[in-house]
């Protein structure tokens, strides 16, 4: 529940996502964002597994997928709101944004299909997800 802890910490310590002075700090924020997105993608993958074996109710699956998309989206939103301190940070931002876009696009497709009750389509739609998850994990690892 990293996201909520972070929000809580911001309230408490009075930190905010304004400009970040040094690039190491920016880099670690990028790493954290990738980890949150990876967690959302992995959650969606488990939900798709459950759908494949008809192990869960549609309403529950939809809820899991909606939340996964929201988590990834809000992590991206928060990260994009941070001012990159230098050129190197710009590069970092661009490469992470590509990954995040891949993730949120697929998560959105999954959510749309689930909302329409087309649970049989989920495994097909989720096919590229493991690769995205692996890339996000690598990114988080490299910039943690």
Partner 1 sequence: MKRLVSIALGILTAIGGFVDIGDIVANTETGARFGMSLAWVVLVGVVGICLFAEMAGRVATVSGRAVFDLVRERLGARIALVNLLASFFITFLTLAAEIGGVALAIELATSVNYLLWVPIVAFLVWLVVWRVKFDIMENAFGLLGLTLVVAAVALWRLGPDWGGLLHAAAHPVVPQGEGHPTWWFFAIALLGAAMTPYEVFFFSSGAVEEGWSRSDLITNRLNVYIGFPLGGLLSLTLMAGATLFLEPRGIEPGHLSQVALPTLLVLGKLGLAVLLIGFFAATFGAALETGLSCGYSIAQYFGFQWGKFVRPADAPRFHLIVLLSILVGAGLVLTTIDPITVTEYSIVLSAAALPLTYFPILVVANDPDYMGDKVNSRFTNALGSVYLLLLLVVAVATIPLMILTKAGS
The residues of the shown chain that bind partner 1, judged by CB under 8 A, are 1-9, 12-13, 15, 32, 35-36, 38-39, 42-43, 45-47, 49-50, 53-57, 59-60, 62-64, 67, 71, 137, 140, 144
Q: Compute how many other C-beta atoms are within 10 angstroms of the C-beta atom of residue 46.
A: 12
> Least CB distance from residue 87 to partner 1, whole Å?
28
- Which helix (H) or strand (E) element contains residue 26? helix 23-52
> Least CB distance from residue 41 to partner 1, whole Å?
9
> Least CB distance from residue 56 to partner 1, whole Å?
5
> Least CB distance from residue 12 to partner 1, whole Å?
6
Looking at the Cβ atoms of 65 and 92, the one nearer to partner 1 is: 65
Total count of residues recorded for the chain: 144
> Least CB distance from residue 28 to partner 1, whole Å?
11
Looking at the Cβ atoms of 39 and 76, the one nearer to partner 1 is: 39
Looking at the Cβ atoms of 1 and 18, the one nearer to partner 1 is: 1
Cα distances from 40 to residues 37, 47, 74, 91, 103, in angstroms, run 5, 11, 11, 24, 9
Kindly give the interhelix angle for 58-80 and 87-115, rounded to the nearest 10 degrees.
160
Buried b or exposed e, range 91-120, using 16+ CB within 10 angstroms: ebbeebeebbebbbebbebbbebbeeeebe
Looking at the Cβ atoms of 13 and 87, the one nearer to partner 1 is: 13
């Amino acid at each position: 529940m990293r996201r909520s802890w972070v929000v809580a910490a911001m309230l408490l310590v009075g930190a905010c996502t304004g400009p970040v002075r040094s690039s190491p700090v920016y880099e670690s924020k990028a790493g954290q964002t990738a980890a949150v997105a990876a967690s959302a993608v992995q959650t969606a993958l488990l939900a798709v597994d459950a759908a494949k074996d008809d192990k869960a109710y549609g309403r529950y699956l939809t809820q899991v997928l909606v939340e996964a998309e929201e988590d990834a989206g809000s992590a991206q939103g928060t990260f994009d709101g941070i001012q990159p301190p230098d050129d190197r940070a710009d590069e970092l931002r661009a490469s992470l944004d590509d990954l995040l876009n891949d993730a949120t696009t697929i998560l959105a497709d999954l959510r749309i299909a689930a909302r329409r009750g087309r649970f049989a389509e989920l495994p097909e739609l989720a096919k590229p997800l493991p690769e995205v998850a692996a890339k996000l994990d690598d990114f988080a690892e490299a910039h943690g």
